[in-house]
Chains A and B, each alone.
Chain A
Amino acid sequence: MNLSKYLFSLFLLCILSFLNASEVDKKLHVNDVSNTNQVTKKKIAYIVSDIRIPFWDIMARGIKNGTDSLGYDFEIYSSHNVAKKELELTVKAIRDKVSGIIVSPTNSSACVTILKLAKSAGVPVVISDIGTDGGEYVSYISSNNKDGAYKIGQMLAKRMIELGWQDGTVGIVAIPQKRLNGQARTAGFMKAMDEAGIKGADIRQQVTWTEKETYDHSMEMIKNHPNLRAIWLQSSNRYMGALKAIRDAGKKDEILLISFDAEPEFLDLIPKGILIGAAMQQPYLMGKEAVHAMHNHLNGKKVEKNLQLPILAISTKNIKEKLPVIKMNVLGIETK
């Protein structure tokens, strides 16, 4: 008798659970229906190599500014520079049924796989910086890395000549040269150096993206090249490592430091001449433009396949003038 009751109770429980699940499903579905019935808010995913890096963070804010203004939901998927995670996040974004993906991939090769996965799911992709080795995308928003590097190179050359250091050499702490932007930056910078007749000393690539790495690269170049007169950082985020190396080497007033990209501190460091300049990308602007491109695509409008945004060559001479633009587009400091 007790057993029968027990079994009956169990049966009831099962039935209830089933019904509940159905309800849940129904609810989801309802929700869905309700969502469908309502004007469904599209979602844009931003798959980024590492949101911890200020550049990407600023870009993300630019994207958010764009999605907010255009009425999209927005979610950041940061890979922390791990290829596996990047792919997992891509799959997740797809499963999350995003309307579009804006991607700043870990590298242009990984971007190809992202594009492939997105394509198989029918999700459009806009690439914001880094680039891709192949695949289909809606638009590629990039900085004119070459031109920017060229301008900053001219700036450096001018300064070195002013200082009578034209016979000195320049060391480069580079981003992975496998990246297209890395290659473009190096090419532009070296063009300026060649035109000025200033020789390069060495080029070291960032791998771990740590300050120590940048410090070590800088220190080695200083030691190995006694006539080193400048260090150019292709990425700004570990600038402190370079500064410390110059200081520790006792070459504070003997080695110029110049950067590609910028950190908020540069607003202070450049005027002080601690950095003589920086080629500033406009990540915030890039983010916004990426959203605009996605929006146009989702609405069936024509989209420019490759959009190169100019890089601001900021030196001590024009920093004041360009400050508003720097704050907004470079640093993503939104003014209310």
Chain B
Amino acid sequence: MAHRKYSLYLTLGLIIIATVTVIMSINSAYSYINTKNKIINDMKESSRTTIISLENNVENLIASYAVNEYDNLVLNEIKRRDIFAIVVHDYNMGKITGKKAYISGKIRDSQSNIIDYDVTNAEQNEQLKNCFYSDTFNIVSASQKKLGTISIYISDETMNKELGKIIEDTLKNTVAISLLLILSLFLTIRFYILKPISDIIDVISDSDKDGIPISIIPDNKTKEISTLSNTMNNMIKSIKASRLILKENENKLFQALELQTRIFDDSGYVIIRTDKDGLIKQINKEAERLLGYSSEELIDIYTPELIHLESEGMRRAEDFSKELNQEVKPGFDVFIAKSNLGLTNEHEWTYITKEGKHIPVLLSVTALKDKDNEIYGYLGIAKDVTQRKLMESQAKLASMGEMIGNIAHQWRQPLSVISTIASGVKVRSEFNQLDISTIAEDMNHITKQTQYLSNTIDDFRNFIKETNKKEKISILHIAEKALSIAHSSIVSSNINVVSNLRDDIIIDGFQNQLIQSIINIINNAKDAMSEYEKDEDKLIFIETEHTNTGLTLRIKDSGGGIKEDILNKIFEPYFTTKHKNVGTGIGLSMVYQIVTEYHNATIEVSNETYQYNGKQYTGACFQINFRP
């Protein structure tokens, strides 16, 4: 049952009225009782004072038979004080009149007039008997002879009248004061409390469609109401600001949601979200398109295992188990093992479409965590790398072509030496000038050259050998190896190589990829300087240097630099400044991919102008920053 609510005005009003009434009533009652007691005490005091006043004089007058004199004294006393009656028993006069006492006195009649007391008047005697207070005193002579008595009678009529008047006055005053008090209290409370509250309510009631007050609550003179007003105003401002922020955030959220949706669906990446157990919960349009499945066919039904090669999964499980030094089971676990450990989890996988087509993808798996940092799902973002693979193959083929070219360069001279020595032996043989010692020496030369040729073959074989395993590699060694492979090509191009390879770092990486990358940069430099007439102007500087973050490999040429407007495009695939028959535009993009994606390094290119041997040169400077 809902409690009925009463107005504060009514409640406070009733409380004030009740309180004031009770207090004033108690006060009045207390005042009445006090006054009554005071009056009674005053009466008794008056009686005593009267007696004291009369005693001596009446004694003398009784003794001198001056009846009228003490009668006058009695009259004066009654007049002076609020006494009902004074009765004198005069024993002296009594003896004269033949009675025990001559009784005289004064008494007040019904109109409060003072008349003679008549001892035979029954009404007067009754009045005396019923008097409120009476007291009798002996009149004694100096010789202790009793001359008579004086009796004082005090009526409560006056007291009652006075009390009645007091009651009336008190009642009037009580009512007046109560009304005044109630009014003033009520007005004060209304002015200082209720009105401000009412104003606050009015302001609060005037609100917009969201229930937020439109106006601010006016300030108040009193500290507490002012504090309340200010606090509420701050609250309203805060709410308004919050709503504004909320609206903005809503817009931002909408935009973010819109962006997320666009990114999710139109990023060109296959995005699959699962719950923490691997059950697919969401796929984007690209996933539908690439894989051939609709959302409804996958969501809440399958895990990503459906679209992966089982054999590949098993293989990776073994590899990850070794790498992570813990058991990684084949199945969904193999996709999330690294993510669970907070490690970078980006690998090439093979998706199987609905039609059974295999598509190579670069898959990055991230654990989704809630605000308590608990994993609630996984997000797999995969990029179709078919094209890139093709590019890699093309680059590989291109590099293989270059490598063959380099090898051809490298083989030319040794083959030329072998041919020269063999020709010499033949000629000497024809002229029967063969000498065993010179033949042995010649054979040594030939053996050295063949060894060199064999090493070159090994290099080539190693280079074309594919590996998906990273190994500990030395950057210094990589640089040296690349220089070695490109040596003949460099020499044949009359390029001066200034090498300052002193600092080193060991990283996990693919040796051949890095060698390929360095050779690619050297070849680009070589191509840039191919038109130079003076060989002394063809310079390639290669150096390593330790940094705070790791090691920097710097390859600088004197090829004049790269145009500023294309400087930021040179790592783009298929971007080339060479003729299409000469340049594929894949090389540097491969270098970029190899360095950044596979080796967790950065590559920068800039134009540099420098002095060398007293001459100023300008060229491109490729800087690769390795991290340990």
Contact = CB atoms under 8 A, between A and B. Distances in A.
Interface of A: 83-84, 86-88, 91, 109-113, 116-117, 133-134
Contacts of B67: 87, 110, 112-113, 116
B169 interface: no
B62 to A, nearest CB: 11
Contacts of B65: 83-84, 86-87, 110
B64 interface: yes
Given A87-B96, A113-B67, A113-B71, 13 more contacts: A83-B64, A84-B64, A86-B65, A87-B67, A109-B66, A109-B69, A110-B68, A111-B68, A112-B68, A112-B71, A113-B68, A116-B104, A133-B68
Contacts of B68: 109-113, 133-134
A84 B71 contact: no
Nearest to A88: B96
Interface in B40-80: 64-69, 71-72
B342 interface: no
B98 interface: yes
Interface string B19-34: 0000000000000000
Contacts of B64: 83-84
A109 B69 CA distance: 7
B66 A117 contact: no
Dominant secondary structure of chain A at its interface with chain B: helix
Contacts of A117: 97
A133 B104 CA distance: 17
A111 B69 CA distance: 11
Contacts of A109: 66, 68-69, 72
B93 interface: yes
Contact of B93 (A87, A111, A133, A134): A87
B66 A110 contact: yes
Contacts of B66: 83, 109-110
A88 B93 CA distance: 9
Nearest to A89: B96
A91 B69 contact: no
Given A83-B65, A110-B66, A91 B71 contact: no
B201 to A, nearest CB: 82
Nearest to B92: A84
A111 B71 CA distance: 13
Nearest to B75: A134
Contacts of A84: 64-65, 92, 96
Nearest to B64: A83
A116 B67 CA distance: 10
Contacts of B96: 84, 87-88, 91
A117 B65 CA distance: 13
A133 B98 CA distance: 25
Contacts of A110: 65-68
Nearest to B120: A120
A59 to B, nearest CB: 23
A295 to B, nearest CB: 28
Contacts of B98: 91
A109 B71 CA distance: 10
A120 to B, nearest CB: 9
A87 B92 CA distance: 11
A84 B69 CA distance: 14
The 3 closest A-B pairs by CB, nearest first: A112-B68, A113-B67, A83-B65
A290 B116 CA distance: 28
Contacts of B72: 109, 133
22 contacts: A83-B64, A83-B66, A84-B92, A84-B96, A86-B65, A87-B67, A87-B93, A87-B96, A88-B96, A91-B97, A91-B98, A109-B68, A109-B69, A109-B72, A110-B65, A110-B66, A110-B67, A112-B67, A116-B116, A117-B97, A133-B68, A133-B72
A222 B97 CA distance: 47
B67 to A, nearest CB: 4
Interface string B94-129: 001110000010000000000010000000000000
A88 B102 CA distance: 13
Contacts of A111: 68
A307 B71 CA distance: 28
A287 B562 CA distance: 174
A113 B102 CA distance: 11
Nearest to A105: B68
A91 B68 CA distance: 16
Nearest to A115: B68
Contacts of A133: 68, 72
Contacts of B71: 112-113
Nearest to B98: A91
Contacts of B69: 109
Contacts of A91: 96-98
B211 to A, nearest CB: 96
Contacts of A112: 67-68, 71
Nearest to B63: A84
